[in-house]
Structures are given as structure tokens and as C-alpha cells.
Structure 1
Amino acid sequence: MGRLHIAVECMVLFVIYETLSKIYTCGPDNQCECSTDNHGFVMDCDGKIVSRLSDICSAIRNTSIKSTAILKAGRNNFRNVNATELVGCESLYTLELNFNQISEFGKDSFKNFSNLEILDLSRNNIQIFKPEWSAAFLPETLSTLILDGFTVDNSSIPSYPNLSHLRKLQTLKLDGLSDNFDIGKHTNRLKELSLSGLSFYSHCSIPHISNSTFRQLLSIVKLNISSCSLRSISAGAFEQLYHLEVLDLSFNRKLGFRSFENLSYGLQFTNIRSVNISYLHTTFGIGTRLFKQDICYLWNTSVEEIAISGNRIMYFETNTVILLPESLTTIDMSENEITFGPFLLQTSCMTNLRIFLGGLQHLAHHPYRYFADDTEEEPTCNNDRMPSRCPFMHETFLNQLAANKSQCNYLQSAGKKTLRSSDFPKYLQFVDLHEGNFIYNLLIDYDIKPNANFVKVLDLSNNIFNIFIGQFGPFPNIEVFNISRCYIMQLGQNTLNYPSLQILRLDKNYLGDQLADSLRSNVFATLISLKALNLSANGITILHTSTFVSLTNLTHLDLSYNNIGILDIMTSSLISLLKIDLHVNSLHTITSDIRTSLEMNAIRRNSTFGLDLQNNSLDYSCENQDFLNWLNEHKSNMNAFEMYVFRLSDGRIMDVTWFQNDISYLAGNCRSYTLLIVLCCIGISSALVTVVGGVIYRHRWKLRYLLFMSRKRFFGYRRLPDYTLKESYIFDAFISYAEDNFRFILDEVIPKLEAENVSLCVHQRDFQAGKAISENIIEAIQSSRKTIVILSEAYLDSKWCMYEFNMARMENLYSREDQGCLLIVMLEKVPHNKMPLEMLRWIQENSYIEYTNEPEGNTMFWDKMVTAKKFNVFALQD
């Protein structure tokens, strides 16, 4: 019972939580939205144009929910605020009043606020930088205060507000408008400070950071002074900020790298982890270089992340990379103008680097940024530096520092280095080189060292590699490879030799022709771990059936934005495939093999399959009704099914609503009388074929004989004028025999008959080469006075022998019926049950000669043969 009681309580709490988690209308006139989060209930009145703040607080006070934690009331044009306006909101944890027209708060406005920790008053009209303005109305409970985006009076020197009484304040965001940052005593608990002018409504103008600018911020952890028109930094500016971990100096385009040596000097004494020095150089200035003295002290810091993007850096002084700290794990070098130099051969000096961002090299910036960057004055050339006193630039120190780093080489000169290999930091995992303006035909193998590298993600997208047939790697741990939009027309058979790869993006290339070629389409054979393959927008019209046969772990296949009309791929091995994206193609149907595979895979993996067929012309026809019924049955598995269209046989295009209304009638409409008519036609045709076939079979030899005679008559052949004249025949006899009896013909028949001046036609000797066998047989029969059949069991098994017998029989019946031109010689005893009907009938109705090996009988046999030739008669059988 105890467990049941607990279960019921949990269910009740779950139902209450689900009910309270839903967004519902609330507040004055139900203009706001309420929900819940981790801190409690949230009332969102942001931009609802509520006329008075007091109406919102009254609604909070009168609601059944007594502990609203967060109130969002920005963008409502509230003006002056006093204690009366806030009655009912005293329990708030967070109050957002940003983007209003508030110019003044009453002294006791937050007197009864005992829980308020986060207050956002940004973008109002409060004159916080005037000396007469007092922040005393702010509650002492605040831990986060946002005051940026206020109107600045340029007629007087601005001063920061005195926030001494906010002893719990840890996060502060306000405009930076003075070199001397002073917000009063007791602010040494401040952890995070933002003076950034980067947002469109914030302001910051701090030309110089001196050693005393941030003297109060001894506990600061995160400091953001981005976009503050900064021009210089003193060497000791950050020396006392021992707890500093995150520093953002980005978008100070007038700073350049002139003060970076001073910056790196001060960071030695901090707990720095992340430095953002992006966009310190003007977007439209000349290219710049990074020298050893710029980062001379950086090796002695604990920096883990450096962002140095958007600085038009073209080159690093040789051996500068050695001075990067071993703690460095992430570097963002994107949006520069890097050119090849010896420094690229020292990338392995960043021994613990995990993430390298180097995309968008040589990016063309839009001209509007020239004005946004405030570049009316030409910055001092980065080469005009003061002489450095840094002791770590000496070659001896650099050489020793390089020696202490694994795989790091100190370069005295560029030296001889093969360009068919490159050193990567061993632990590098993420490499982004997208849109780097790399224009190469990768025809050769390119070796990455060490071979046992840790690279997992490699992005080479938006470059130009027309031909990519070399091997690039090895990358034994790679999981994601992006070479989309690289204009690739040809991939090597072994280029994608990455057995560990799981995601491959090849979209927006030109691989359509290759993937249709049976000899070149097997480029995915080694990708045994691949799970997602994107081949969209490749100009594919047809895929070779075995293109994906090796991808047994493939779950997602994207073939969208091609021109595929028929998708006929082998799916028996694709046992993991669940999602196929085929939208924007020319498909009319999906084969039953693919449909069955998707269903079976979903059952096998206890999951659901998905198919996207948007923007195809699916055939709505009787021939396609199996697919259409399947589509209707699994419409929940179709992505954006409501967008599908169907093409009728008359060319009309129908939408999904029409499809769903008509699909139930399709089977009936298609059935009609078609099946009955077809069955009747089949029956009649079968009977007719049987009758005609029987007649043809009965007279088959006569028909074949008449057909041949007709061909001779009408296509240039003429009969001999007088069959009774001896000179009209070329041979006395045509010998018809089986190949198994050739020795008898060669040893007996030919010698003994030709010795008596009997001319014989033997097919192995007298048939004309190059002429059809059937034609040679007919001419031999018609050119011979007699046709002698040497009958044996082997004779009956030969189709050509039977052809010779039947043609001779037809000649005897229809052309020389009074001459008896067919003679059968019984070479061996042949059972009557083995003879065809025509042969048996002829034997029974006509005479034949029986061959024997007995001396007397053999002599008589040959006499009969000779006599038959001379007197044109045949002796009766013995």
C-alpha cells in the first residue's frame, strides 16, 4: 500500500506539472502569457502594450499563484516608476523592464523586494552617468544588474554610477564611457563585467586601458570590453586580475596587434582560459602579420581558447607558433587571409590542440561594413612596433621550447619539406576549413602525420576540388567529413577510405554521371560505419543499383534536389536504412523492394521509417495503385505529406486532399471489366492457338517445304526444267546420315558406290560454306536423283537428320511423286516405338533396304544399291 500511495502521489504531481507547464493567457485583460520554469512561474508581458505596470503587479497579487518568479515587462512604454506601481510584484526573483521609456524610479520603489536577484533596466532614459543620479533605489539583494543602452549626455564628463551598497552583485552590464572604471567600494565580489558596445543599442568608448583602469575588479572572472574603440593597453592593465578567466577584446578595430605584447604580458599573472581578439584589424585595411613579439609572453599563460578571426592575417613570423601555450585546445583563425608559409609546417607545435577553425579565408566583406567599422582614420601600421624587451624571443629559448614539445620543429629556414604530407597536432579532433578559397585538383595521395591522429570532424566544404581522386589521410578516427559544395565531378575509387566515418556530406557537387556508371559508382565500398549520407543537388538522374550495397549501417540517405526519375537500388544489404529524403525529384513511384526494406528495417530496429517525397510527380493510376495504397497507409511516415501532389493520366495535378478522398475508390475504378475481358481474351486466344497449333504441327513439314519452295520461286531460284533427264541432276544420290555413322559412310558407302560411278553428295564434303544449313539440305535433295537415308537410333536423335528425311519425303510427295526419290537403308534394328510417326508411316507404306554384315547378304545389299541407281527402281526388302 505504501508503494501504491507513492505512485499515486507521483502521478498527481506529474499531472500538476504538466498542467502548469503549459502556456496560458494571464495578467491584465489576459494580455500576457504564463508558464513555469525551474525558478517558478513566469509571466511574459513583453511587448504586449500594457498601459500601466501597476496593472501587471495587481494581476500577480490577485492571482491564485502566489509566487510568480519572473516578470518580463519590456517594450511597453512605461515611464516613471514608483513604489505604488510595483505593489504586488514584491516576490519576484527576476524583473525585466528593458526597452521602456523609464526616466526615474522612486526612492522606495524596491523597498519591499526581498527576493529580487536579477534586474534588467537596459534601454531606458535613466541618466545613470550623471553625478546627481543615485542608485540607492536598487535593492541590495541584486546579483545581476543590466544597465546598458542609456542616453549619454556628451556635454559633461560621464562617470559610472555608485553601486557600493550592492554587496551581492556578481554580474554587471553597462555602457563603457570612461577610462577610469569606478563603481564605488565593496564591489570586489563582482565576477562578470560587460562594458561592450557591440549590440546595436549599447555604447562604449574607452580609448586606453591603463594599469589602474580595473584596479577594483580583483575578483573578476569574465571581462567583456568588445567594440569600445580601444587604441592601446598598458603592460600592467590586467596584471592584478588574478582570477580573470575570460577576456573579450573583439571588434576594437583601432587597436590592431600593437598592444598585444602588453596584453600577453599581463595575462601571465591571471588564471586566463579564453581570449577573444577577433576583429582588431580594420576590415578594409591592408593585410597584417603576427610577429613573435606579439605573443612573446603567451606561452607562459594558461590560455585554452583563442579567437583571432577577422584580422586579415596573412602570415605568421617563422617560429611564432612555438610560443602558443601548451594549454591551448581551441583556436579560431577564420576570416583571415592566410597564405602558405613555413609557419604552416609548425602546426604540430600546438600539441594539445583539439579544435581548429580556419574557414572563410579571403572573405570579401560587404562595403557597408566600412562605415560600421569606423575606419575614417588609417590605423598605425602593425609593423611600426616599439622594440621588444621580451626575453623569450631569443633563438636559443625558442629552440629549447620546441624541443620540449612533442612533434614540434624549430625552423632556421623553410628547409626542404615535401608537400605531399602535413603534420597535424596529434590530439586535434575538429578541423573547419570551409570556404577557405582552396582551389585544387587533388590528384595525388596526401599523407597526414601522425597516422594515428585523433581527427573526428573535417569540414572542407565550399572550396573547389573538381577532381578528388587521391587519398587524403589517413584519419583512423574520423566520424564526420563535409566536402559539400566543392564542385567535385570525379571521386577516386579509394579516396573515401575511412572505415570509421559516420556522416558524409557530398551535397551540391556534380557526381551524377559517376554514380550512374557501373565502373565508377562504387566509391562508398569502404564506409562500413557510415550512418548518414547526403548526396542532394548532384545532378543525379539515375543511380547504379549497387552504389550503396556496402553501407550496412546507413540510416539516413539524402537524395533531394536531383532529377531522379526511377530509383532502383539494391536494398537487401541496407538493413539499417530508415530515412530517405527524395524531395524535389522526378519520381512517379517507389519500388516495392524499397518499401519493403523500410518497413522491415523499422521492425528490426524497433523504430519508425521516414520518407520525403515532396515536389515529385507521383502517378495516380491503376498501374501504380499498390504504391498509392501503401502511401496512404503510411502517410504518417511521410515528411510534409500535406504538400504532396499527384499526376493523373490526363496531365492534371491533384493535391493530398483530393488523393485522400479518392483513394478508396481507386481499386473499384481499376477493377471494372478489365480482368473479365482479359480472361476471356486469354481463353479464346488459347483455344485458337491450340487449334492452329495442331494444324500447323500436323502439316509442319509440308509447310516448311512449301515455304522454302516459295522462297526459291519468288527470290531468284528456278526449278530444273526436266526432272526426268539425267543431266538435270548434279548427283546420283544425297546421303543423309548421323554423325555417329560417319565411319560407315566413309569406309563403306562412298568407296563402293563411287567405284560403280555413282556420284554422291555428302554434307561434310559437298555443302557450300557460308550458306544456311537448311538451304544446303534442300539444294542437295533437289540436285540429287535419290536421297538415301542411313537409318539408325542416332539418326532419330539428330534434328538436322530428321529435317533431311522430312524434306526428302515432301520432295517425293509433291515434286517427284512418280519417281520414288527417297530410299531408306536400315543400318541397324530400330524399334518402332522410337520412330516418329512420319518415319514409321513411311516404313510401313514403302520399301527399304536392310544392311547386313553377312557375306552373301552384304553382296546382295550393294548390288541392290547399284541397281537402284541404274534402273531408277528399288528392290523390295528381303
Structure 2
Amino acid sequence: MHCNCSFRGFRYIPVINIQVKFLYLSNNEIQIIQNSSFEILRNLEELDISSNKLNYLDKDAFIGLIALRKLVIGNNYELTYSIRSFATSLFKPLISLEYLDITHNSRTAMDVNFSKNVLSDLVALNSIGIDLIGEHDTTLVIGEGFLSLTKLRTFIAGYCDISFDNKTFINVPYLEVIELEDCSFEMYSIGTLRKKKLRFLSFGGSGLDILIEDNVHKFMIMIEDFGTAYIETLLLTTNFGMLQCLPSDFFLRLNGTGIRHLILNENSLHEVTIRKSYKDPIRYNSILPVTLRHLEIKNNVLQTFKVSMPHLSRLNLERNNLGYFLKYNRYSVTDTLNLTDINLSSNKIDRLHASIFHGHTHLENINVSNNYLTDISFNISHLIWLKTLDMSSNRIEGFDETTMKTLNHLFENSNLQIDLSNNTLHCNCQNVPFLLWIFERNTHFPLRNSMSCEFSNGSTNLRSQFKRTVMQLKKECTSYTALEICLSIAIMGLLITVFGGLVYKYRWRLRYIYYMTRSKYKRNIPDDIDGNYKYDAFISYSDNERNFIFKECIPILEGQKHIKLCIHQRDFLPGEDITQNITNSIHESRKIICIITRGFLDSFYCMFEFNMARMESIYSRGGRNILFLVFFEQFRHQDLSLVMLELIQKDSYIEYPNDEQGNAIFWKKLGEAINKGQ
């Protein structure tokens, strides 16, 4: 049964139920504990009467408390360590007492007989909290009465203002834990801790201004003295004042202590490296004690940390300023490490060196929370024993595909747990693969419902609705994707259609420009339309009309009328591409005569010659008509193209009569058409 009577304004001990085991009477106004006040409380195990106004305790004050294990009488400012405040044999009834706290009472020095007459009866005492106030003889502070306390293992100092020497702890040879918080001392001598075997030593707040040279000397003596004892855990918080670096041989002094845990929190350290001497700016890598397994340097201002740590298991660098350093450097100079836990939280990290965890074959827990990380830029693919990766309270919006592939590989071989709580993910279609990946790998993201999801409009969904949000977003984005694909196909089809239509519409113009450009660079062809042409006329015909060309056309026009013709079977340059031959010949001829037959209309090259001639007239001859049609057969209008019908309307044609009288007129008109505009 617990009975809490704190902050009730009591001036006397109230009547308490006999069954109570835990009684709290702190922060009242009790001045006197009357004799036998607790006599009936034979079951009471814990009593707290701290922060009252006690100034005297009678020898029968605690009679009857045979089961009491813990007694707290601290913060009673009028109690002194003397027979006047603590009666002789006051604690004798407390045969089961294991813990006594009488710290932060009067700041007067301890009477010479206090420990012998008052404390020596506590034969079962395991832990004591007491003020250490003394002047020169430190044996008066922890007097001979402590020799009776053979079970005493823990010593906790309240007020602490003494000088430490080889006599300070001589009467407590069995101590395993010493907590000396906020100690001020004028002197510290080597031998204070000599040959002591301590599980825990706390020397927080040494009270030294470390920048004063004399105090630096005292501090170095204290560190040297640590090397004379066995210390499993050493806590040195708020010890270094404004000192930015550890003393040069700090770790060296601890190497023989068997130290396993070192805690340097709440200091002002800027770097942890070893210097050649205190004033030497040349830095050397720190070599940690080989027995050290746990190093904690929280709440400093570290900007540089690089040590040799082949045997260290746990490293805690929380709440420092290592962000810039760790972006380009590793914190260890050792290639192979035994680290299982690393804490780099609250270090203003936006990116970690890619190989920062190389060699960490045994790493199980990584904490990089409360930083500015946006992704996993560091390599963890080899960390097959990794159990937890804490990336909470960063700036993660999503992981890229490479990161997800790396983590998938780790998931196959381990039960890695990743904490992304208090990150604001992006809820958009681009991030759907990442959100679905988290949902599918939900066993590896136990706190996924603690992640926020921000939409494009700035709104944020409720964290508890993560699953529903992802499913809804997937559905919406799927429909958007289908719509985007359809629109893309439609737009692409429209562009292809428009482009194809333009190419088809201007196909002959494009061909003509291509061949003329090519011809310009391959052959020197004059561009002057009024210049002299190599041929008077280029004759375009199909192979079916070869006899007509060679038996009638050439003998009459060239033999009788002296018109120079270009005939492809005769005048084309051998080895030249046929399309290039056609374009060059048309460009070098004053007129182009097309012998229109059904074979002509069906021939690709004949139509090519016809259209190249049209382009020549438009783009090289200033729009002058150089094309003349000779209809060798009868055609219906619907058999001819619109372009040919346009030329017919301009009277740029003649029909072949195929009779003797008509033929004479035909050749006369054809010759005039060729020579027209000469």
C-alpha cells in the first residue's frame, strides 16, 4: 500500500494505516518527529520525509521500522551532521535499511564523531547519499564509523566541497559506485582512487574553470589518478568548462583502468582528436582504450570527430554539430569495427558520407533522427545484421528507386525496422510507387501511421488513415495515368497526322529542295534563269515510247530543227543516282516536254520528272511555265491529275495527230513551244 502525504501542510506525523509499505511525507512543514511516531508501521519499507523543517531527530524517532529499506531525510536545511541534530544510535532500530539519503542539509562540516556514533549502526546499508563538506582533514568527512558499514557499495555526494587525497575514501574500502556531482575542490592528489575497483564513477561538474592554468593542472592530475584504479564506467559531465579539445593524453591515461563505458556529456567539446601537446595545433587521431565498449559524447558542440575504435560497441554522438564534417568524412579511421549501435541524431545532417558505415559488419542499430536527411544517400547494403534504422523527424518525402532496391535486398535477409515517423511524405502520383512500397513492406515500417502525407494543395492527411490514403491515391493516379496515356497518344497521333499531311502536301517541293541542295554542292550549276542552258529541252517519256523518241522525235527536232535535246537513255551521267540525274537535267534544260501516255502516268520516274519540272518552274524560273505536255493518247478528264488539268487550261499542251498532214503541224508547234522565250 502506498500513502502519499506530500504537499499537505502537515506539521506533525499523521496517523498512518498499519498496512502502509510506502509513505511519502515530503514538502510539508514537519519540525519534530516524536518518539515512536512510526512504531506500528512494521511493514513500512520506504519513508520519505525530505524538504521539511526538521532540525532534530530523537534516538527513538525510527523505533519499530524493522522492515524499512529506504529512508530519505534530505533538504532539511537546519539538520547538521552532529549529535545535536542526529541523536546517538538514532539509526540502530533500522536493521534492514539499505538506502539512506541525508544530502543537501546544513552546509556545516561533519562532527568528528558523527559517523562513529550515528552511522556505524547501519550494518545493512548498501547505499548512502551524504554531503561532503570539509576543510583539511578529509578523514573527518568520511570518518572511521564508515568502517562498520561492510556492505556499503554506493556513495552519492550531495553538497561537495573538499580536497581529495589518499585518505578521502580510506574508510570505505568496499565501494563500487561513487557519484560526485557538482564537486568543488581546491586540491586533488594522486592516490585518491588508487587500487579501487569501481563499477561506476561519476565526476560531473568538477567546479573547475578549466581555462585557468592551475585548474588545468588539477584536472590532469585527476585524470592521471583515474589510471591508478579500475573503473568500469566513468561519467565526466560538465567537467571541461570552455575547453574545446580533450587533453592530449586523456584516452592514454584511461587505457589501464579497464574502462568499458565513458560518458562525456554536457561539455563544450568542439573536437575529439589527440594533439601532440596541449598547445600544439597538429592533430592526431584518437586511440580509444582497448577495453572501452561504450562511448557517449552527447550535448556538446562537436564539429570534428575521428578516432580509432576497433573494439567499441556503442557510440552516441547525439546533439552535436557534426553535419558538415560527416558529409565528407567518416568518424572512424579503423577499417574494421565492432560497433553494434551508432547514434548521430540531432547533428544538423543533410547528407552522410557514402561509405560512413563501411566496415561495420556487426552494426545492428542506426539512429539518424532529428536531422535534415531527404533520402538514404549512405551505403547500408552490406549491413546484413541491421535491425533498426531510425530516420524519424527528418525531411524525407520519399525514397528513390535505388534506395528501395537496396532495402528490398536487406529485407530478404533480415527483419530490419525503419522508423520514418514525423516525416512529411509527398502524396502525389510521382510518389505512389514509394507509398505502395511502404504499404507492401508494412512489417518493416512499424510506425508508418506516424508519418504525415502532404498533398499538392498543401493539405495533410490524418496519420491514422495512411492505408486508406495510399489506396485512394493509387486509384486516382491510375485513372490519371490512363487519361494521360490516351491524351499523349491522341496528341502524338494528331502531330503525326499533321506532319504527315504537310510532308505529303509539300512532298515534291521538299524533294526538289533536297536534290537541288545536293546538286548545288556536288556540281556547279548556274542559278541564273536567263543564262545559257545546256539543253533546249528535256524529253520525259516512258520506255513504251522509246521508238517514237528515237525514230521521230530526235531526227526531227535535233536533225531538222537543230534543237538540242536531253534524253535520259543517252545523256544521263553514268554512275550518278537516277533522281539526281533527272533533277540536274531539268535544271540545265530550257523546257521540259512530257510525252503523256498511260505508261507515263503509271511510271514513278516519269511522274517524278513531271513534278520536278513543276517545282523548277516555281522556284528556279520565277514562276515561268517551262512545262509542255504532249498527249500521245486520248484521256478522259478524270484520268488526269488536277495539276495536269491546270496546265491544259493554260494551253500548255498539244495532241499528237498520228497522220501525215497533222504530224507536220505537230512538229512545227512543238518546235515553237521549245524555242518560245529563248
TM-score under structure 1 length normalisation: 0.47
Query: What pairs up with 1:426-437 in 2 under 5 angstroms?
Result: 426-431=290-295
Q: Does the aligned pair in 1 maintain the 2:381–2:410 contact within 8 Å?
A: no
Letter in structure 2 aligned against 1:122: S
Corresponding residue for residue 219 of structure 1 = 148
1:165 partnered with 2:97? no
1:20-40: per-residue Cα shift (whole Å, max 9, x none)?
A: xxxxxxxxxxxxxxxxxxxxx
Classify 1:633/1:250 alpha carbon distance in 2 versus 1 (closer, same or farther; 3 Å).
Answer: closer
Give 3-state SS (helix, strand or coil) of 2:100's partner: strand
1:432-490: per-residue Cα shift (whole Å, max 9, x none)?
A: 5667xxxxxxxxxxxxxxxxxxxxxxxxx73334xx9xxx6654444455666234276
* Structure 2 CA distance for aligned equivalents of residues 489 and 262 of structure 1: 41
Give 1:275 shift. Answer: 5.7
* Structure 2 CA distance for aligned equivalents of residues 727 and 840 of structure 1: 19
- Indicate the structure (1 or 2) with the bigger Cα radius of gyration: 2
Corresponding residue for residue 121 of structure 2 = 187
Give 3-state SS (helix, strand or coil) of 1:217's partner: helix
Query: What pairs up with 1:10-89 in 2 under 5 angstroms?
Result: 43-44=1-2, 46=4, 73-81=5-13, 85-87=15-17, 89=18
Query: What pairs up with 1:197-346 in 2 under 5 angstroms?
Result: 197=131, 209-210=138-139, 214-220=143-149, 221-222=152-153, 224=155, 226-228=157-159, 230-231=161-162, 239-248=170-179, 250-253=181-184, 255-257=185-187, 260=189, 279=205, 281-283=207-209, 286-288=212-214, 313=219, 315-316=220-221, 321=224, 324-325=227-228, 327-332=230-235, 335-336=239-240
* Structure 2 CA distance for aligned equivalents of residues 349 and 145 of structure 1: 39
Letter in structure 1 aligned against 2:302: N
Classify 1:620/1:809 alpha carbon distance in 2 versus 1 (closer, same or farther; 3 Å).
Answer: same
Q: Does the aligned pair in 1 maintain the 2:373–2:396 contact within 8 Å?
A: no
Q: Give 2:328's match in structure 1, choosing from 470, 481, 491.
A: 491
Q: Does the aligned pair in 1 maintain the 2:226–2:257 contact within 8 Å?
A: no
1:788 partnered with 2:627? no
1:278-337: per-residue Cα shift (whole Å, max 9, x none)?
A: 55545599443587xxxxxxxxxxxxxxxxxxx7x2x449xx948932634454455236
Q: Does the aligned pair in 2 maintain the 1:511–1:538 contact within 8 Å?
A: yes
1:705 partnered with 2:511? yes
Q: Does the aligned pair in 1 maintain the 2:361–2:383 contact within 8 Å?
A: yes
Give 1:499 shift. Answer: 3.6
Q: Does the aligned pair in 1 maintain the 2:2–2:21 contact within 8 Å?
A: no
Q: Give 2:391's match in structure 1, choosing from 565, 578, 581.
A: 581
Corresponding residue for residue 807 of structure 1 = 580
Corresponding residue for residue 635 of structure 2 = none
Classify 1:581/1:109 alpha carbon distance in 2 versus 1 (closer, same or farther; 3 Å).
Answer: same
Give 1:135 shift. Answer: 1.6
* Structure 1 CA distance for aligned equivalents of residues 458 and 357 of structure 2: 39
* Structure 2 CA distance for aligned equivalents of residues 238 and 134 of structure 1: 31
Q: Does the aligned pair in 1 maintain the 2:21–2:46 contact within 8 Å?
A: yes
* Structure 1 CA distance for aligned equivalents of residues 386 and 379 of structure 2: 12
Corresponding residue for residue 553 of structure 1 = 384
Give 1:187 shift. Answer: 0.8
Q: Does the aligned pair in 1 maintain the 2:533–2:590 contact within 8 Å?
A: no
* Structure 1 CA distance for aligned equivalents of residues 349 and 440 of structure 2: 35
Q: Does the aligned pair in 2 maintain the 1:119–1:145 contact within 8 Å?
A: yes
* Structure 1 CA distance for aligned equivalents of residues 586 and 477 of structure 2: 57
* Structure 2 CA distance for aligned equivalents of residues 348 and 538 of structure 1: 33
Q: Structure 2 regions of 5+ residues with no counterpart? A: 271-276, 537-565, 594-602, 609-678
Letter in structure 2 aligned against 1:548: N
Q: Does the aligned pair in 2 maintain the 1:336–1:360 contact within 8 Å?
A: no
Corresponding residue for residue 147 of structure 1 = 73
Corresponding residue for residue 616 of structure 1 = 424
* Structure 1 CA distance for aligned equivalents of residues 471 and 246 of structure 2: 67
Give 3-state SS (helix, strand or coil) of 1:119's partner: strand
1:114-164: per-residue Cα shift (whole Å, max 9, x none)?
A: 4333333333344434xx67425442343433323335279x983313233
* Structure 1 CA distance for aligned equivalents of residues 247 and 438 of structure 2: 58
Classify 1:489/1:433 alpha carbon distance in 2 versus 1 (closer, same or farther; 3 Å).
Answer: closer
* Structure 1 CA distance for aligned equivalents of residues 475 and 498 of structure 2: 36
* Structure 1 CA distance for aligned equivalents of residues 589 and 163 of structure 2: 125
1:726-764: per-residue Cα shift (whole Å, max 9, x none)?
A: 499xxxxxxxxxxxxxxxxxxxxxxxxxxxxxxxxxxxx
Query: What pairs up with 1:401-416 in 2 under 5 angstroms?
Result: none
Classify 1:613/1:787 alpha carbon distance in 2 versus 1 (closer, same or farther; 3 Å).
Answer: farther
Q: Structure 1 regions of 5+ residues with no counterpart? A: 1-42, 47-72, 198-203, 292-310, 365-412, 436-460, 516-520, 557-577, 729-780, 791-800, 821-836, 843-878
Letter in structure 1 aligned against 2:123: R
Higher RCO, Cα 8 Å, sep 6+: 2
Query: What pairs up with 1:852-867 in 2 under 5 angstroms?
Result: none
Corresponding residue for residue 55 of structure 1 = none
Corresponding residue for residue 56 of structure 2 = 128
Query: What pairs up with 1:638-717 in 2 under 5 angstroms?
Result: 639=447, 641=449, 644-648=452-456, 675=482, 679=486, 682=489, 702=508, 704-708=510-514
Classify 1:692/1:816 alpha carbon distance in 2 versus 1 (closer, same or farther; 3 Å).
Answer: farther
332-341 or 117-126: bigger deviation: 332-341
Q: Does the aligned pair in 2 maintain the 1:257–1:280 contact within 8 Å?
A: no
Classify 1:705/1:619 alpha carbon distance in 2 versus 1 (closer, same or farther; 3 Å).
Answer: same
Q: Does the aligned pair in 1 maintain the 2:234–2:263 contact within 8 Å?
A: yes
Classify 1:128/1:674 alpha carbon distance in 2 versus 1 (closer, same or farther; 3 Å).
Answer: closer
Q: Does the aligned pair in 2 maintain the 1:497–1:527 contact within 8 Å?
A: no
Q: Give 1:463's match in structure 2, choosing from 302, 305, 321.
A: 302
Give 3-state SS (helix, strand or coil) of 2:47's partner: strand
Letter in structure 2 aligned against 1:257: M
* Structure 1 CA distance for aligned equivalents of residues 47 and 331 of structure 2: 60
Give 3-state SS (helix, strand or coil) of 2:148's partner: coil
1:719 partnered with 2:527? yes
Give 1:86 shift. Answer: 2.7
Corresponding residue for residue 640 of structure 2 = none
* Structure 2 CA distance for aligned equivalents of residues 249 and 494 of structure 1: 31
* Structure 2 CA distance for aligned equivalents of residues 349 and 663 of structure 1: 55
Q: Does the aligned pair in 1 maintain the 2:231–2:259 contact within 8 Å?
A: yes
Corresponding residue for residue 372 of structure 1 = none
* Structure 2 CA distance for aligned equivalents of residues 186 and 127 of structure 1: 21
Q: Does the aligned pair in 2 maintain the 1:120–1:146 contact within 8 Å?
A: yes
1:99-125: per-residue Cα shift (whole Å, max 9, x none)?
A: 334455665554444433333333334
Give 1:189 shift. Answer: 1.1
Letter in structure 1 aligned against 2:227: L
* Structure 1 CA distance for aligned equivalents of residues 427 and 421 of structure 2: 12
Give 3-state SS (helix, strand or coil) of 2:514's partner: helix
1:751-788: per-residue Cα shift (whole Å, max 9, x none)?
A: xxxxxxxxxxxxxxxxxxxxxxxxxxxxxx9xxx9543
* Structure 1 CA distance for aligned equivalents of residues 326 and 359 of structure 2: 20
What is the aligned residue count?
543
Give 3-state SS (helix, strand or coil) of 2:147's partner: coil
Corresponding residue for residue 570 of structure 1 = none
* Structure 2 CA distance for aligned equivalents of residues 552 and 146 of structure 1: 49
Give 3-state SS (helix, strand or coil) of 2:146's partner: coil
* Structure 2 CA distance for aligned equivalents of residues 641 and 580 of structure 1: 15
Corresponding residue for residue 829 of structure 1 = none
Give the aligned CA root-mean-square deviation in angstroms: 6.0
Corresponding residue for residue 870 of structure 1 = none
